[in-house]
Amino acid sequence: MVDKGRRDFLKKAGIAAAAIPFANLRIPVIDVTLEEFFQKHYKEMSEEERKRVVERLERQHKEKYGVDVEIMTTPPRKGVVWGYALNIQKCIGCRRCVYACVRENNQSRANPKEPWRGEIQWIRVLEFEKFEAHPGKPSKKDFRTTFGEVIAGINLEESEHYYDPPLVPEKEKFYMPIQCQQCERPPCVKVCPTKATWKEPDGIIVVDYNWCIGCRFCIAACPYWARRFNWSDPYIRREEINPRMHYLGNRIRMRGVVEKCTFCIQRTRNGRYPACVEICPVGARKFGNLLDPESEVRRVIERKRVFRLKEELGTQPKFFYFID
């Protein structure tokens, strides 16, 4: 929703982007220029303003990281709602998707010199035991039998996402990657006090990194632990930067804001697959237009056994898990 009142206010106050005096003046410590300070919400910018903002951001990337980047603002395509399907039977837990995602989306890396600087990963692969039994003793007091307590199937509380065996897949384990489920009814959007995160017409939940105030309410509200916070400035080596960026996607973030998976908005809005789909060595990941009955993802949903995570919460994920 475009907030007209606000625009008029800004106009009257004479602080429309072009008119800011000392636009390049830097406020120390928090390290923002006046121009950044007065930047509008992405959805409220005119074409003109968007162009100027993008140019400035490209310039800033160059100054800060020394790379020439292109920041796109590709709009959503009509008649497209993106969906995802993941075959948990095939997934071998190799985490190639995790690292492909990190590279593609310019996520903060672990800094060898300052390990306290956060490493950020949007995808986490959960490892589950196929079967783990804690045999019980039959007793008069409780209802247990010698079968005891058994851990099997998808029990998130028994999952492990820091697993580190020499070789995957392990025989007695199975794997389920998790990332933003692009909820059709996203609680993260509902709770955001500033509308800094919202659902685009193609179904992707995005964040305006220049509008987010860093209150982290959305992190508390997400049932899938899909959101990450920039606890410090991100750390990326210059040669590892992916220069093809989208304003709402993989442009390099700043400290103090939230980020998350966008189904690789910079790729998918320009006719490519998400990086995780491309890299998966066993073809466990499928992606496509949910509105197109011929799309891969629709065919999976119609022909395979699918389920969604935590459906009881009413979030309506557009991320489907399936088995053959």
Partner 1 sequence: MRKFIDFVLTSVKLALTGSRKYYAWLASLLIMVLFGAFSYYYQLKYGLIITDIRDQVSWGSYIANFTFLVGVAAAAVMIVLPAYLYNYKEFKHITVFGELMAVSALVMVLTFVLVDLGRIDRVLHLMPFTGTPNWPQSMLTWDVIVLNGYLFLNILIPGYLLYKTYLREPPRKWIKIFILISIPWAISIHTVTAFLYGGLAARPFWNTAVMAPRFLASAFTAGPAFMIIILQIIRRYTCIGQPGCKLVVSDRALFTLAHIALISMLVNLFFLGSEIYTVGYAATSHIAPLKYLFFGLEHDGVVYNKLQPYMWAAITMEIIAALLLLFPRTRKNFKTLNIACIFAFVGIWIEKGMGLVIPGFIPTPIGEIWEYYPTLMEIMITLSVWALGLLVYTLLLKIAIGILAEDVVHPSAKGREMPEHH
Interaction with ligand SF4 in 110-169: which residues (CB under 6 A)?
none
Neighbours of 130 (CB within 10 A): 12
From the list ligand SF4, partner 1, none, partner contacted by residue 131 (C-beta under 5 to 8 A by kind)? none
DSSP calls for 110-155? PPSS-TTSPP--S-EEEEEES-EEE-----SSSS--TT-EEE-S--
Is residue 125 within 8 Å of 321, Cβ to Cβ? no
Comparison of 173 and 216: residue with beta carbon closer to partner 1? 216
Task: Reply yes or no: is the peptide bond before residue 169 cis, omega within 30 of 0.
Answer: yes
Comparison of 115 and 166: residue with beta carbon closer to partner 1? 115
From the list ligand SF4, partner 1, none, partner contacted by residue 178 (C-beta under 5 to 8 A by kind)? partner 1
Binding mask 59-78 vs ligand SF4 (x if CB under 6 A, - otherwise)?
Answer: --------------------
From the list ligand SF4, partner 1, none, partner contacted by residue 318 (C-beta under 5 to 8 A by kind)? none
Residue among 262, 296, 218, 270 nearest 101 (CA): 262
The region of 28-36, 94-102, 243-251, 273-281 touching partner 1 under the rule CB under 8 A is: 28-36
Interacting residue with ligand SF4 among 207, 236, 254, 264 (CB under 6 A): 207
Tell me the CA distances in angstroms from 275 to 208, 264, 271, 312, one per residue in order: 21, 7, 12, 30
| Residue 213 is a binding residue for ligand SF4 (CB under 6 A) | yes
The count of chain residues that interact with partner 1, using the rule CB under 8 A, is 58
d(CA 296, CA 292): 9
Interaction with partner 1 in 182-241: which residues (CB under 8 A)?
187, 190-196, 211-217, 219-225, 227-233
**Which single residue is written with the structure tokens 């993941």?**
86
Interacting residue with ligand SF4 among 181, 262, 266, 268 (CB under 6 A): 181
| Residue 275 is a binding residue for ligand SF4 (CB under 6 A) | no
**Which single residue is written with the structure tokens 């820091």?**
162
Comparison of 100 and 196: residue with beta carbon closer to ligand SF4? 196
- Minimal distance in Å, beta carbon 322 to partner 1? 19
Residue among 86, 83, 91, 84 nearest 281 (CA): 91
From the list partner 1, ligand SF4, none, partner contacted by residue 37 (C-beta under 5 to 8 A by kind)? partner 1
7-12: long-range contacts, CB 8 A cutoff, minimum separation 24? 7/40, 7/44, 10/38, 10/40
Comparison of 183 and 277: residue with beta carbon closer to partner 1? 183
Is residue 69 within 8 Å of 251, Cβ to Cβ? yes
- Minimal distance in Å, beta carbon 299 to partner 1? 28
Tokens of 84: 């995802």
Tokens of 82: 């993106």
Is residue 315 within 8 Å of 184, Cβ to Cβ? yes
Binding site for ligand SF4 (CB under 6 A): 180-183, 186-188, 191-192, 194, 196-197, 205, 207, 212-218, 222, 224, 226-227, 258, 260, 315
Binding site for partner 1 (CB under 8 A): 3, 5-6, 9, 27, 29-30, 32, 37, 41, 44, 116-118, 124, 126, 155-159, 161, 178, 187, 190-196, 211-217, 219-225, 227-233, 255-258, 313-314
